[in-house]
Amino acid sequence: MRNPSTRRMYRRVERECHACILTSSAIHRCTVRDLSLSGFRVQRQDRAVLSLHTLVMIRVWLPGISTPIDIDQAMVRWGRGNEFGVEIQSISNGSDFQLAGFVERTLQSSTGWDEAPGQAVG
């Protein structure tokens, strides 16, 4: 059984989005998947190695949103092969709002749920 203190705080959505990771020395093209309000799974398109606890900036192009969102600071939490996980450390209010809306719409469309939270049905 999983320790309750290690459960995820936010639900993840399984979508793939184009993104770029900016490190202190380079820009890397990548794909972001398993999005949540607290972090992402990232698949690199190159062979660059990012060490644990490396701080990066991320620009993500979310489907259906005309401008990309910027994650001002994210920390590498794990890595396996060409994939790694990042935890969001800092994000602007505007990008956070867009990410939250995207996650909510994706969850609603996957469950068929169309009512706003707190709205009575019928």
Per the domain annotation, does 37 fall within a domain?
yes
Per the domain annotation, does 119 fall within a domain?
no
Per the domain annotation, does 116 fall within a domain?
no
Contacts of 22 (CB under 8 A, 6+ apart): 28, 56, 57, 58, 59
Q: What CATH number did the domain enclosing 16 receive?
A: 2.40.10.220
Per the domain annotation, does 39 fall within a domain?
yes
Say how many domains are in the chain: 1
Q: Which helix (H) or strand (E) holds 43?
A: strand 39-44
Report yes or no: 76 and 52 within 8 Å, Cβ to Cβ: yes
Per the domain annotation, does 118 fall within a domain?
no
The domain containing residue 63 runs over which residues? Answer: 9-111
Instruction: For residue range 2-49, list pLDDT tens digits in order.
Output: 344 444 455 678 889 999 999 988 899 999 999 999 999 999 888 777
Per the domain annotation, does 4 fall within a domain?
no
Instruction: For residue range 71-116, list pLDDT tens digits in order.
Output: 999 999 999 988 999 999 999 999 999 999 999 988 888 765 444 4
